[in-house]
Structure 1
Amino acid sequence: MRTVGCLIFDGVRAFDYAVIGEVWANRVSRPGVPAFDLRVCGPDGVRVRLGGGLERTPDHGLEGLLDCDLVVVPGVERPLAPTAPEVLAALRAVHARGIPIASLCAGAFVLADAGLLDGRAATTHWCVAQDLAARHPAVDVQPEVLFTGDGEIWTSAGVAAGIDLCLHLVRSAHGQQAAATIARAMVTAPFRAGGQAQFIPSPVPEEAGDDPLARVRTEVLAGLDTPWTVRRMAGLALMSERSFARRFVEAAGTSPLRWLLDQRVLAAQRLLEETDLPVDEVAARCGFASAVSLRPAFVRRVGLAPREYRRSFRGREAG
């Protein structure tokens, strides 16, 4: 996934356009990050009015999308406004060629208007999710997730969830180091739990300070092979189990044990990508009893068994 097309037209959100640029157009040398070719494409190459009063002249016409490896559609300021027919036709042509398409925020309305979300799960900003469901009843709208997709079509929730999806797409194609390097540069959260399981690694240590929950997370991450329980974590925070669990959910958006499982699988991904350790050893280092117990958790989160994931990643790396 080296050539990425950013589709712009009147009314796209300037923030989403900027996110796409930060992820795929940053020209500063970034270790482990491929040299991406970001194509900014729009109708007839005419000047486009972005949200917030900004303007941008596309570098390519809509035909520039047709040989990209990925096409990303920013969110739109007015999701219920009609989309230009030539934009919808271009998206249908991109999809017909088998090129993956991702939308950020209310860009899901554009994909739905093109007929690309019928029969698929999709998400968008929570405040317009009901509008999407009402306008396109054939779409399985899932407002509770941060992003969702099936490899062909991806959609994300509002604002920061677009960053989550972009980093997920980088990680899926180029591995953890590339996504982690970009996340550091963007000073974004290393991991956002809750909702749709995410593949963003946690490379940036938390600043624990006086926050007992942050101190617990830091200690847990430093010893994932420890047999952690809610009681043990609550003890570190000097809280009752009930208070700790409630405050953890409020802070992290997920339960302590779900967060722990996510972190263990993420650590397993790192070891599978970066080392030749046997899968049993990977499992032990990440807090699983064996490769057998690692497998179901890994498959649920990643979609592949650990050995298949390692082969897949090594294949991408070789390519």
Structure 2
Amino acid sequence: MKSSYLAHGKVILIGEHSVVYGYNALALPIMSLHIKATVEPGPQMWMDTASYHGPFFMAPDEYDGLKYVVKTMLTKANSNENLRITYTGEIPIERGLGSSATVALATTKAMNDYFNLNLLNDEIIEVTNHAETINHGKASGLDAATVNSDYLVFFNKKSGPSVLRAKLNATLLIMDTGELGSTKKAVAQVQQQVQSSREADEKIKQLGQLADDTKQAWVNQDRVSVGKIFNEAEEILDSFGLATIKIKQLQQLALENGALGFKLSGSGLGGIVIVLCDNIEVAKSIAKKCQKVAVNSWIEEI
């Protein structure tokens, strides 16, 4: 008997950091980036990934969230069965693409199917979110909601996710800086400033407002306004010290070559950036110009 589940990645369009403080955020599922978890019987509890092959519960600390998922699901199934869990596909880790939420969700759903637990969606998300908290500290729930959605997610920590089916009729270029971001470090860095400065607290409020403005402009298919909002959000995120030299280099190249807007996505201190473009031709042109700075890029019609 074998059970598999394929889960996709995500990018935060706007609202990173402010979402932790109760403001709204918008995030987009990225179908071209995915990871499949396959659960099958094994001689011992075993994990196979691109970078680790070995006993499941002896995996390095970065797999602690997954260890929680597996222990929890085994408890729910009232089982001590040995399983081999294999992960295939690739989402670059620590880049803001939702890799940890994706593997946690894929594992939870694959084990749910394997043991015929018939868990409700809320129960599956609860397990995924707890794994995210183990991985990142103060997880908002946004990543788990978005990797579990086929549509744009408008998210609030208190009221949860709601789906936005509207299209902007634009193109999004996603570029990987190649620099590992640290969500825990970035969240702590912002938190320290917010707690000690009223100005920083105001900036968080502004980010929350920009997420609301983005939703309205998106529904109106006003990509020029969305681009301006992205640029404004990037200024605020940069003021928290979250933009690296590489991020600033990519920003300059993108805006000099026809981008409507540019911002980092995720926690910052590395990771990915997103570039709003009028069309796919502009996106391809910017990606080419940025080849020497970015290590990878993806294009999504939005």
Q: Scaled by the length of structure 2, what TM-score is found?
A: 0.29
Of Structure 1 and Structure 2, the greater strand share is in 2
Of Structure 1 and Structure 2, the greater helix share is in 1
Q: Scaled by the length of structure 1, what TM-score is found?
A: 0.28
- Kindly name which structure, 1 or 2, has the bigger radius of gyration based on alpha carbons: 1
Structure possessing the higher relative contact order (Cα contacts under 8 Å, 6 or more residues apart) = 2
